[in-house]
Amino acid sequence: MNLLVTGAFGWTEDELNVLRSMGHQVVFVQQERDDLPCDPSWVEGVIGNGLFLSHPIESFGNLRYIQLTSAGFDRVPMDYVREKQIEIHNARGVYSIPMAEFAISGVLQLYKQSKYFYDRQRARVWEKNRNLLELEGRTVCIVGCGSVGTECAKRFAAFDCRVIGVDLCPYENRLYAEMVSLDYLDEKLGESDIVVLTLPLTEQTTHLFAKERFSRIKNGSVLVNIARGAVVETDALLAALHDKLYGAVLDVFEEEPLPEQSPLWDMEHVILMPHNSFVGDGNRKRLAEVILKNLEQCRV
């Protein structure tokens, strides 16, 4: 297969040679927005992330295989991919562990008042705080029960939380006390202490959490968004943080980078990350394994 490989994965020459040893012709481009080192019509397979944001997929007339280095499909024109029956794979499972670790660490930072103690450590002030919370016994609602959601379920369950799932396509999974369809989301929000968003961004899920949905959420709950920023309407989130939520753990935002004037920066009960929760030292090994396995099993 004629493969166009991009710098979305930090390839070494030895790793590129592994692809060549499998019988593939390989060309490499570091930045996906740069001019391509080959004619798009030469390309039969792509390994990358946001290539089609800068280069129209229609120009790749012989494209039949896509391997994404991201978990989401939102940077690819999926209607075109389906129409042309292009085989496509995402990086399923690669980033799930660090994202789940971020989710639970963020909630623990809020529950254990980490900012409070950090500020006093810097000021050398010995001052107790009697308002710390425990995870044990809390109800955690995971909205989107794919690989990221399931890794979250494992970790919250280990803290003796009751974990319930809400998914577009519910299925049996022993990690969840129950799993229901999106139709029951409002009901489950009313009984959940922690809500973790890990679902993909689609037309159906854009602004899934807007003013009306936040009115259904349990008072004093924590919202964790490690999905996509547009799943949550920013103004509705800000309002909920003033009078509804205990706090929020946010890795993604409707506008990225988060504007300097955003009130979120200064909120003591908000944990922020710059779309960084996917980073972990095990990612490279997992992603390489996914790429090679999918190539070996390629149907085209």
What positions carry a catalytic annotation? 228, 256, 275
Q: In the numeric block, which tokens belong to residue 57? A: 């997929």
Tokens describing residue 214: 């936040």
Q: Which long-range contacts (CB under 8 A, 24 or more apart) does 285-292 make?
A: 286/93, 286/94, 287/9, 287/69, 287/91, 287/94, 288/9, 288/15, 290/67, 290/89, 290/91, 290/92, 290/93, 290/94, 291/9, 291/47, 291/67, 292/18
DSSP state for residue 199 in the 8-state scheme: P
Q: How many residues make up the chain in this entry?
A: 300
Say how far residue 117 (Cα) sits from the centre of its chain: 29
Nearest 5 degrees, angle CA 80-CA 84-CA 85? Answer: 110
Amino acid at 228: R
Using CA atoms in the order 231, 137, 244, 106, what is the torsion angle rounded to 10 degrees?
-60
What is the spatial distance between Cα 109 and Cα 114, in angstroms, rounded to a whole number? 5
d(CA 180, CA 203): 20
For residue 277, give both structure tokens.
């929760």
- Residue 27, SS3? strand
Report whether 254 contacts 234 (CB < 8 A). Answer: yes
